[in-house]
Structure 1
Amino acid sequence: MIPADDPRSIAAAVACLADGGIVALPTETVYGLGADATNGEAVARIFEAKGRPRFNPLIAHVSDLDMARRLAVFDPLALRLADRFWPGPLTLVLPALDGSPVHVLASAGLPTIALRMPRGVMGSIAAALGAPIAAPSANRSGRVSPTTASHVEASLGSAVDLVLDGGPASVGLESTIIKPLDGRLHLLRAGGLDPAEIEAATGLAVIRTPPGPAVEAPGQLVSHYAPSGSVRLEARHVDPGEALVTFAGRRIEGDEAAAEIHDLSPAGNLREAAARLFAVLAELDRPDIARIAVVAIPREGLGEAINDRLTRAAAPRGL
């Protein structure tokens, strides 16, 4: 683990990626497990390290819009979104350009490609590498996403060639994924950018449609983001031995007997709750915590993304 703000660290990461290595990199959303998106063998190492299904596509992270436009077709609506929200926690799913250098494994063979311009060091590294960085969250597939470098090391250990430590992720949830198509905005994954902000910026409604049988974007698997213990949602009581995740100081029946209690935001702030969610789930991802009860979380704003992650964490495993 080396500090992300040291120029020598950036040089080391670029050299590692150029040599086909995989590097854990901080972003404002969560830590990503990065590889040169144009190198098929390097991308394959991501899937191997995570135990990730090959049909689950990866996001290609770019340094600037010029790099992005060498990879995908941008219509006027996509350009508006990129101009307003990049760099930031927004991923766009766009038609792949003919001859795009991104390896087919990163896009899972789809005719589209998921693109994001992150804040911080990953963009600088992509610029120095001269190539997009394919990077899912830096954790074992289906488990809790990492918001600190120590989470990465605990989950992946020696499977990663290099870990850059940029401190806790400020957003704490993966990016919001939007597919602009025929002048409409389709939400493929709720995330760290509130869809209401997108609607305000574009004057268009963000359309929420149930996902089809095929995976179009990361984060659409039914069971995902899960700690080792079972998760029970909208809890109104705590069973003996359960850990409790609460919000806004809420007390529920039996909480005095909880194994431990974590409040996502004592002040009832959904942005704080989003930033803390994966850190709390990581803290509870222990052999001695077999069951986790979670109180109802408001669904407006970033609460939509928080509830999406909790629903997937609570889903039957192996789906």
Structure 2
Amino acid sequence: MQPRNMSMSGVVDLAALKAASEAKEKAEQARAQAARDGGPAAPASPLAFDVTEETFERDVLQRSTEVPVVVNFWAEQSDASVQLGSVLERLAGEYAGRFVVARVDVYANQMLFQQFGVQGIPAVFAVLAGQAMPLFQGAAPEDQVREVLDQLIAVAEQRFGIVGAPVEAGEATAAPAPAPRPATPQELALSAAHDALDNGDLGGAIQAYKNVLADEPANAEAKLGLAQAELLHRVQDADQQAVRKAAAADPGDVQAQIAAADLDLVGGHVEDAFGRLVDAVRRTAGDERNTARVRLLELFEVIGADDPRVTAARAALARVLF
């Protein structure tokens, strides 16, 4: 992609997030409180740090009144976003305080993902004085990354008077580790569910994830884990040859198509699994149609709502239903 010509015409409306003036006011209040308390408002951070929905206001909005914040939306499963993140973090050290990098895991922070209007990863934004602007969508070579960062730094200084703070060698990549926080009961339960899944105890994992969701119905990580565990549990004793033979012999047999779709997904054939069930919905009516539709929605949970294959399959399902 070509580097953007930095301008305020690219500013993103952050809706529920705070505006620049409020961010500045809160930052000043935090510094004043820190002075009264005899310590910093928050633990010292390196030039590249993780941000969550809970810490976004403090670590990005407030900090953006003092230094340009480059927000990197990434996921461990995306090689391109991991590679771009490595480049940004290395350059953050090289630029030594003229900008910082805030990492946002898209799977763990869906609200931020949606509020920024991210269409896919990698996606990189800048936040200056509480205002956001897009920098990259997709991978970019390092020379273009440098050019955009140079433009960002110039805009920050010329339009906002934000210049960052010099960082001594060694401070750019390391910071004192915060004191460990005791795990909550929900986190312990979720960890136990993950361990059961990793150890192949699918029944135990299913029950453990259900326990987490009973107390926290909106827990996205538990929903994903439950969907994965239930899928693996369904296919663990399946005769793959017999399942596929039955599905090929009778395209109108909803249960046969559902069983084959499970195998497709486990085998990595995501589009095939989705297409098979969309076709099953198209061919059927009543309870059978609803059965196929519900299983398709369950498989969407396994892959994740932000995956483009899920988006395409949702559109296909809507065309069939409506």
Normalising to structure 2: TM-score of the pair? Answer: 0.27
Bigger Rg over Cα: 2
Q: Please identify which structure carries the higher strand content.
A: 1
Asked which structure has the greater RCO (Cα within 8 Å, sep 6+), the reply is 1
Normalising to structure 1: TM-score of the pair? Answer: 0.28
